[in-house]
Structure 1
Amino acid sequence: MPDRSASPPTRRVIDIVSLLAASTQPISVAGIAERLDIARATATAVLTELDSAGWVGREPNRGYTIGPALAGLHGPSLPHGLGDTLAALAARTGCGATFSRIEPDRLTVLDVRHGTDRVVPGIPVGHRIPLRFPAGASVMPWRSASEQNTWTATAAGADRRTAGSLLGLVRERGVAVFRPRVDDAGMVDLLADLLGAVGTELLQPHLRTRALRQLATLTSRPFSRDELDSDDALPLSYLAAPVFDATGTAAFEVQLGPLRTEAPKAERDEYISATLDAARELSAALAAGRSGMVG
């Protein structure tokens, strides 16, 4: 029978995700194509995109299962009211906020709320990035020594020395704070404005990835202890605080993105306070066993 869906390509995605979600075992490309009565080439093309987004995972035997990004969006390990907490954080600060799962080898974005003061398109929900310095800095002080050593080893040059001191500072303050390098502040402002004007959804995937990677690179210099305590107005990129699950593991992080070329100390302190409050609220929800769907 002809496909009467208003959008056959979208229907294929829905059918494949639904099939994998209902299966307790990995399914091969041939098996998916056979069960859904679609061409193997079509199934392969859809699975390739889903795998890139983290919505499906590929097992060693070449079978596919639901991936970490999609499982994280609907899994029982997420705190109830997550969306409400992020929305409140964004409203309180006017900045975009994200919630991510931190695994030993990757960071996966699970929820995003845009700010009101300056809408800067960021990494989309389901996006995965390798866990390399400084990504994941907010949780690393509470991870095992082997994970810390692996993470520190990803830092290059002078950043290798910074990584060690950053772990101590984050454990002491409970938050990781980042800024652009002095020479990059103007470029950060320009790139953020361009992304906000164009919209990352209008960019081709490879251009979006390059733009977001460049923005992340330009904004990832950790604040030092002296800078955190300074009364001077300083550039401010992002803040991140750990969220602890029911076992006490720092499994997630809340990230806030002011992307300010100049932030007075009072504003920086408020951003830090707001981020920590949101992280504590989510940790408390997980500790109480109140988990469920993203709110």
Structure 2
Amino acid sequence: MSDRSPSPPTRRVIDIVSALAATPEPMSVAAIADRLDIARATATAILAELDSAGWVRRDPSRGYGLGPTLMGLHGPALPPTLGDILTELTVRTGYGTTLSRIEPDHLTVLDVRHGPERVVPGLPVGHRFPLQFPAGASVMPWRSAAEQNAWLATAPDADRRVASALLTLVRDRGVALFRPRTDDAGTVELLADLLGAMRTELGQPHLRTRALRRLAFLTSRPFTRAELDSDAELPLSYLAAPVFDTAGQAAYEVQLGPLRISTTKSERDDFSTATIDTAHALTCALTP
């Protein structure tokens, strides 16, 4: 922080927000204070105000990251109640949830809520990455033909037919469900647990990104219609449902991540209902 700032208190706020924006992992009060060379009491007071305004968010490990209100500055302002709705989904299911804005060529993470069952360090709030199959699958059935074709073109040749069928299935069911690509679902569960256990040690961003990308790839095989209707016990990675804006566009996606090695049809149905209910509640909050 510059001692020549005409308003040192304002400069401290800017420095804290800038530090959080530049750091992929949530930061503790101590880490923020040390990095910016300010008193911990000062950092705590500023973060409390930013948290109450939704500009930052504190996770279960007491680390801070950018909040949904700040992220809303890159698009339409988001109602503060959205976070509460996401929290209700984690309480209802026991698993983490994510809300993302889906634009024609990229996806931006707006809010993340960790569930008590497993804390996996996913993409941080504010992270933006290219929109490629299967990301954004839940909104694509309601997008233009041009956007659908562009999205389908990002799928590997081996997945192109699956991606096309997924659009029809999601429009019929209102939710997309994914399972591990490998038959060894235990590998996915082990990787998720390791990431959760190492979330404070996996400090090098490139290693964290590689691990998360690998986990995302391993968990991204869409369920087929026959599998969804099957009574068999099957692994379940995550679910996603569309959230609509005031213009009636499927502009957002809510995602639930059980990362379960085995689920019954009844459990899958319950997870689907919970995700769809949450998407509807988020839509109502966005379109009062």
Aligned to 2:197: 197
Per-residue CA deviation, residues 249-274 of structure 1 (Å, 9 max, x unaligned), is: 00001000000010111111111111
Aligned to 1:264: 264
Task: Map 1:1-150 to 2 at 5 A.
Answer: 3=3, 14=14, 70-72=70-72, 76-150=76-150
Secondary structure, aligned partner of 1:183? coil
Counterpart CA distance in 2 for 1:13 and 1:131 is 32
Q: CA deviation at 1:212?
A: 0.7
Q: CA deviation at 1:122?
A: 1.3
How many residues are paired up?
Answer: 237
Q: CA deviation at 1:79?
A: 3.4
The change in CA–CA distance for 1:195 and 1:217 in structure 2 (over 3 A counts) is: same
Per-residue CA deviation, residues 176-207 of structure 1 (Å, 9 max, x unaligned), is: 10000243412211110111111167421111
Counterpart CA distance in 2 for 1:97 and 1:125 is 12
Counterpart CA distance in 2 for 1:150 and 1:161 is 14
Per-residue CA deviation, residues 125-182 of structure 1 (Å, 9 max, x unaligned), is: 1111210000000000000000000000011122001111000000000001000024
Aligned to 1:242: 242
Aligned to 2:233: 233
* AA at the equivalent of 1:126: G
Check whether the contact 2:71–2:110 (CA below 8 A) recurs between aligned residues.
no
Aligned to 1:177: 177
Aligned to 2:251: 251
Secondary structure, aligned partner of 1:135? coil
Check whether the contact 1:69–1:109 (CA below 8 A) recurs between aligned residues.
no
Q: CA deviation at 1:222?
A: 0.2
* AA at the equivalent of 2:189: D
Counterpart CA distance in 2 for 1:194 and 1:201 is 11
* AA at the equivalent of 2:160: R
Matched-pair identity in % = 73
Q: CA deviation at 1:95?
A: 0.3
Q: Which runs of 5+ in 1 are unaligned?
A: 19-67, 289-295
Q: CA deviation at 1:242?
A: 0.2
Per-residue CA deviation, residues 2-37 of structure 1 (Å, 9 max, x unaligned), is: 7399xx9xx68825979xxxxxxxxxxxxxxxxxxx
Aligned to 1:45: none
Secondary structure, aligned partner of 1:232? coil
Counterpart CA distance in 2 for 1:140 and 1:75 is 19
Per-residue CA deviation, residues 214-245 of structure 1 (Å, 9 max, x unaligned), is: 00000000000011111111000010000000
Counterpart CA distance in 2 for 1:191 and 1:73 is 34
Aligned to 1:40: none
The change in CA–CA distance for 1:200 and 1:283 in structure 2 (over 3 A counts) is: farther
Q: TM-score, normalized by length of structure 2? A: 0.76
Secondary structure, aligned partner of 1:109? strand
Check whether the contact 1:184–1:218 (CA below 8 A) recurs between aligned residues.
no
Aligned to 1:47: none
* AA at the equivalent of 2:137: A
* AA at the equivalent of 1:97: T
Check whether the contact 1:90–1:114 (CA below 8 A) recurs between aligned residues.
yes
CA RMSD of aligned residues (A): 2.8
Secondary structure, aligned partner of 1:272? helix
* AA at the equivalent of 1:162: V
Q: CA deviation at 1:72?
A: 2.3
Check whether the contact 1:79–1:282 (CA below 8 A) recurs between aligned residues.
no
Counterpart CA distance in 2 for 1:143 and 1:223 is 21
Counterpart CA distance in 2 for 1:81 and 1:12 is 28
Q: Which runs of 5+ in 2 are unaligned?
A: 19-67
Aligned to 1:34: none
